[in-house]
Structure 1
Amino acid sequence: MTTTDLHRLTGAYALHALSGEETAAFERHLAGCEACAQEAAELSATAARLGLAVAVSPPGALRERVLRRIGSVRQQPPDGADPARPGRVRPRGRMLSRWALAACLAAAAAFGGTAVWQHQRAEDATREARRARQATDEIAAVLAAPDARARAASFGDGSTGTVVVSRSRDQAVFVVAGMPHPARGKVYQLWFDEDGAMRSAGLMDPGRTDQAVLLRGAVDGASGMGVTVEPAGGSERPTSAPLALLSFPA
């Protein structure tokens, strides 16, 4: 499957119409393609909203009717025995009707639960797409700022990194290429270097080797930035020696 083919699978992925092998290949592609990741998130949100739009809410009185009916029907004795006539088996009709009532109640609850799940999924996908779009816009604004200055460095593992700083926006962006995936349960964390004191600037995406990351927080008085390997979720303070240290351009 070529890269061009993968770019065309966002719609099928959003509708869960891919095979297991295709899904795995496409999700590997998503890790390095921000455009496809955003499009897939937006299509998933749209699909979920369409599903919610055609869902039919059960009548408001359904639950009350079912509960009244259940309360008026005597509980079926074990093995279908009729307590009024020992040794005689009661006809199965009432037992079947009880199962039908229970099935109706379960179906109504499941139907409502499905609609809620679809709605929640749509909201989550929409929020994720909105965050991704906002981050992309902020990164583009820093890179395009008239006072943007850059400093590049090569790291020992063969990867390269560039930090771009806009003093007028008080923001910085870290662009990295060829960064190895961190070990399982680990993540790369970015830091502002303030005269040797490190202030957290956010986490990198552990699934991507090439990425541009907006450093979280103001540049303020920081003189540079660093990258460390931390437990998943990040740390309040660095727990390992920096993999890289870059001073900010003057």
Structure 2
Amino acid sequence: MTAADLHTLTGAYALHALDDDERERFERHAAACADCAREVRELSAAAARLGLAVTVSPDPALKDQVMRRITTVRQEPPRTVSPGELRTVGARRRRPSRWALAAALAAAAALGGTAVWQHERAQDAQNAQEQARRAERRADQVAAVLTAPDARSRTTELPGGASGTVVVSRSRDRAVFVASRMAKPPGGKVYQLWFDEAGTMRSAGLMDPGRGTGAVLMEGPVDGASGMGITVEPAGGSRSPTSAPVALMGLPA
């Protein structure tokens, strides 16, 4: 695969359609190609917005079910009543029937349920949109570090044939960790990143346990950190490392 071929993979990368080898090669390419990094951000944002444009339609079989039920319900024939029964019927008509009340309550409940369903769908769409905005902002921040004029990187080998690269921009005071083929953490565990400040470890966020390859914006400023580490922690992370480090590496000067 040539460099020219890698330029054509922005769309497939944004839609997670590359295999592990192609994704790894493209991410190394995008780390040094501002045009591809920008195009990936734009395509990822567009894909997220398209994902929000979803409508929910009733089951097509619903109409058939209703029409079929109509044909099976017998209509009661008219009957004659005596004068005494007429007075009783008149009295009944002056007060709501139990069935009418039940029907009204059922209709109100159905309308209320529809309103709740619509509210929940709208809330889901709003939450998804906010998540897309956060993902877009995070992608912009990652790209800003990777493409910064003073960006410096350092790569180390990780267990199982994986590798990790930390990219630091001192002018932005931020760092990005790029993982490649890291094994999934054990069930209920997560990889946690740390800044090493003279032996004191400061949390720099969690990695997505479902992705062993990808770029992660490390949380917080680089500040006085001279290195970083990775540990395996309980889901949700820890205040301080609770396991032996998977990796320790110095930050690029």
- Fold conserved (TM > 0.5)? yes
1:3-22 alignment, distance < 5 Å: none
- Give the equivalent residue in structure 1 for 2:238: 235
Corresponding residue number in structure 2 for 1:202: 205
Aligned pairs (5 A) from 1:63-102: 94-102=97-105
Contact 1:182 1:206 in 2 (8 A): yes
| 2-structure distance, mates of 1:142, 1:37 | 18
Matched, 1:47 2:54: yes
1:158 pairs with 2:157: no
Please tell me whether residue 223 in structure 1 is matched to residue 226 in structure 2. yes
**Alpha-carbon spacing, 1:153–1:125, altered in 2? closer, same or farther (3 Å):** same
Deviation at 1:203, TM superposition (A): 0.5
Q: Give per-residue Cα distances to partners, 1:6-25, cap 9 Å, x unaligned.
A: x6xx8xxxxxxxxxxxxxxx
In structure 2, distance between residues paired with 1:37 and 1:192: 29
Secondary structure, counterpart of 1:172 in structure 2: strand
Structure showing greater radius of gyration is 2
**Structure 2 match to 1:61:** none
Q: Does 1:122 align with 2:125?
A: yes
1:46-70: per-residue Cα shift (whole Å, max 9, x none)? 326x99xxxxxxxxxxxxxxxxxxx
**Residue 136 and residue 235 in structure 1: after superposition, are their counterparts in 2 closer, same or farther (change >3 A)?**
same
Once residues 209 and 95 of structure 1 are traced to their aligned partners in structure 2, the CA distance between those partners, rounded to angstroms, is 62
Residues in 2 aligned to 1:39 and 1:185: alpha-carbon distance in whole angstroms: 33
Comparing 141-150 and 97-106, the one that deviates more: 97-106
Unaligned runs of 5+ in 1: 11-25, 52-84
Q: TM-score, normalised by structure 1?
A: 0.67
**Alignment root-mean-square deviation, CA:** 3.1
Aligned counterparts of 1:121 and 1:162: Cα–Cα separation in 2: 36
**One-letter amino acid of the counterpart of residue 129, structure 2:** T
Q: Which of 138, 141, 146 is matched with 1:138 structurally? A: 141
* Match status 1:176 vs 2:179: yes
Aligned counterparts of 1:95 and 1:40: Cα–Cα separation in 2: 53
Say if 1:177 and 1:148 are closer, same or farther in 2 by CA, change over 3 A.
same
In 2, are the aligned partners of 1:201 and 1:215 still within 8 Å (CA)? yes
1:37: how far off?
A: 7.2
What SS does the corresponding residue of 1:47 show, helix, strand or coil? coil
Secondary structure of the 2:203 match is: strand
How many angstroms apart in 2 are the aligned matches of 1:43 and 1:171?
A: 31
Residues 158 and 247, structure 2, Cα contact 8 Å, conserved in 1 = yes
Q: Which runs of 4+ in 1 moved over 3 A?
A: 34-41
Shift of 1:42: 2.5
Change (3 A) 1:240 1:140: same
Corresponding residue pairs, total: 186
